[in-house]
Amino acid sequence: MEGLLPKLVFVYLGIVLVATSILVVTNRNAVHAVLWMLVMFLHQAVLFIMLDAEFLAAVQIIVYAGAVLVLFLFVVYMINLRTELRLHNFTVFWPGALLVSIALLLLSVQAIKAFRPAPPVGDMTTEKIVKLGHAKLLGRALFTEHVLAFEAVGVLLLVAVLGAVVLTRRIRLKGEGV
Partner 1 sequence: MIPISWYLVLSLFLFVIGAFGFIARRNVIIMLMCIEIMLNAVNISLVALGKGLQHTAAHVLVFFVIAVAAAEAAIGLALVVLLFKKTREVHMDEFRTLKG
> Under rule CB under 8 A, which residues in 76-115 are in contact with partner 1?
76, 78-79, 81, 84, 87-94, 97-98, 100-102, 104-105, 108-109, 112, 115
The reply on whether position 58 binds partner 1 by CB under 8 A is no
The reply on whether position 177 binds partner 1 by CB under 8 A is no
The reply on whether position 65 binds partner 1 by CB under 8 A is no
57, exposed or middle or buried, with CB in 10 Å at 0-12, 13-18, 19+? buried
Listed residue (154, 158, 160, 157) closest to 142, CA to CA: 154
Q: By CB under 8 A, name the one of 4, 51, 148, 178 that touches partner 1.
A: 51
The reply on whether position 63 binds partner 1 by CB under 8 A is yes
Measured from the CB of residue 109, what is the shortest distance to partner 1 in angstroms? 7
Query: Residue 55 and residue 165: Cα distance in Å, rounded?
Result: 30
Listed residue (36, 35, 55) closest to 45, CA to CA: 55
Measured from the CB of residue 9, what is the shortest distance to partner 1 in angstroms? 9
SS3 for 149?
helix
Measured from the CB of residue 40, what is the shortest distance to partner 1 in angstroms? 8
Measured from the CB of residue 17, what is the shortest distance to partner 1 in angstroms? 6
The reply on whether position 148 binds partner 1 by CB under 8 A is no
SS3 for 91?
coil
Query: Residue 89 and residue 26: Cα distance in Å, rounded?
Result: 8
